[in-house]
């Protein structure tokens, strides 16, 4: 998971949101929050954001960073559309009717792969800190337009990383399972750096991507071996050039999958102190 800059929403979403929210409010007032008529509105509309999200996310899942071949995956609602789930007593349960009014909000939409989006993974899960409260839901009956207060989610203290607002590298790291082995034989695992990282890894089951990430990082390790040989044989300029190619190819290139893991791998292979000693570049945080 990396930080995403997704820019402004497409005009078609602005228009669609106005129509759909208006309809949702009308059906809420006439049929109620639990009616099929109200729920039916939420099946459509947001798909118009998918092509632009797909393009701006460089065809990759916002959560696991796997590359997708086509636009067939669903649009992910970061905050769920019809009821948020919390983990209570070890079981995920629906705890509220949040966040139907955000169903067509650009800042709440992401492109995600089928696996991360489905109910066994992210689904409707949206945990917040137990001491915090969810943003105020619009009343029922409700008036349109919906008051801005219901969109102010900043104080929610969510426990999921929002790739638009957070830098996932501050919360999630990839580490070698057994550092005593030669890096060529490293298997990689994902770990949280705080409770937000831990919860995000659990909700998205990111450890299921460990084999794919390990295979990807082997490409980096094989080039790092070349850089290491250059250093040991007294060719520091060749080593620097190889190292810079690794950074450009695997961290700076927005088309690459698993750039979070690549950043951690570069830091494990040549830690900061060693880079300083050898005069090697520092890998920049990946984004976009
Ligand atoms: Zn995914």
What pLDDT digit, counting tens, does each position of 182-210 carry? 999 999 999 999 999 999 999 999 999 99
Task: Please give the distance, rounded to the nearest whole angstrom, from the Cα atom of residue 12 to the centre of ligand 1.
Answer: 26
Task: Please give the distance, rounded to the nearest whole angstrom, from the Cα atom of residue 182 to the centre of ligand 1.
Answer: 29
Show the tokens assigned to 271: 């830690």
Whole-number pLDDT of residue 177: 98
Task: Please give the distance, rounded to the nearest whole angstrom, from the Cα atom of residue 141 to the centre of ligand 1.
Answer: 37
Q: Is 233 exposed, middle or buried, given 0-12, 13-18 or 19+ CB atoms closer than 10 A?
A: exposed
Indicate the average pLDDT of the chain. Answer: 96
Task: Please give the distance, rounded to the nearest whole angstrom, from the Cα atom of residue 139 to the centre of ligand 1.
Answer: 34
Checking if the pLDDT of 164 tops 80, the result is yes
Strands (E), 11-148: 75-77, 85-88, 91-94, 109-111
Whole-number pLDDT of residue 72: 67
pLDDT band at 119 (very low <50, low <70, confident <90, very high): confident
Checking if the pLDDT of 141 tops 90, the result is yes
pLDDT band at 117 (very low <50, low <70, confident <90, very high): confident
Checking if the pLDDT of 146 tops 80, the result is yes
Residues paired with 93 in a beta bridge: 86
Whole-number pLDDT of residue 4: 98
Task: Please give the distance, rounded to the nearest whole angstrom, from the Cα atom of residue 112 to the centre of ligand 1.
Answer: 5
The string over 70-85, giving b where at least 16 C-beta atoms fall within 10 Å of a residue's C-beta and e elsewhere, is eeebebbbbbbbbbbb
Whole-number pLDDT of residue 70: 62
Task: Please give the distance, rounded to the nearest whole angstrom, from the Cα atom of residue 65 to the centre of ligand 1.
Answer: 6
Instruction: Judge whether 161 and 172 are in contact, CB under 8 Å.
Output: yes
Taking the model in full, what pTM does it have? 0.95
> Average pLDDT for residues 92-97, to the nearest whole number?
95
Cis before 145? omega within 30: yes
Q: Which of 11-20, 71-80, 109-118, 236-245 has the lowest mean pLDDT?
A: 71-80
Q: Is 174 exposed, middle or buried, given 0-12, 13-18 or 19+ CB atoms closer than 10 A?
A: buried
Nearest 5°: the CA angle 21, 164, 77 is 40
């Amino acid at each position: 998971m990396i930080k995403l800059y997704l820019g402004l929403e497409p005009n078609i979403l602005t228009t669609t949101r106005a129509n759909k929210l208006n309809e949702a409010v009308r059906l809420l007032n006439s049929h109620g929050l639990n009616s099929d008529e109200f729920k039916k509105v939420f099946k459509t509309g947001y798909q118009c954001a998918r092509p632009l999200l797909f393009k701006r996310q460089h065809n990759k899942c916002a959560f696991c960073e796997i590359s997708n071949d086509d636009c067939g995956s669903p649009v992910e609602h970061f905050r769920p559309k019809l009821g948020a789930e919390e983990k209570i007593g070890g079981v995920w349960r629906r705890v509220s009717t949040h966040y139907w009014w955000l169903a067509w909000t650009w800042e709440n939409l992401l492109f995600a792969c089928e696996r991360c989006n489905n109910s066994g993974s992210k689904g409707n899960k949206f945990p917040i800190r137990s001491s915090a409260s969810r943003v105020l839901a619009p009343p029922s009956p409700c008036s349109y337009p919906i008051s801005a207060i219901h969109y102010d989610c900043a104080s929610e203290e969510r426990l999921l990383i929002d790739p638009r607002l957070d830098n996932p590298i501050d919360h999630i790291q990839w580490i070698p399972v057994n550092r005593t082995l030669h890096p060529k034989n490293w298997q990689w695992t994902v770990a949280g750096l705080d409770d937000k990282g831990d919860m995000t890894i659990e909700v998205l089951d990111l450890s299921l991507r460990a084999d794919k990430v390990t295979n990807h990082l082997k490409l980096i390790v094989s080039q790092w071996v070349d850089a290491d040989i250059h250093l040991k044989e007294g060719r520091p300029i060749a080593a620097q050039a190889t190292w810079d190619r690794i950074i450009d190819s695997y961290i700076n290139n927005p088309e690459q999958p698993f750039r979070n893991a690549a950043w951690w791998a570069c830091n494990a292979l040549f830690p900061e102190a060693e880079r300083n000693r050898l005069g090697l570049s520092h890998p920049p945080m990946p984004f976009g």
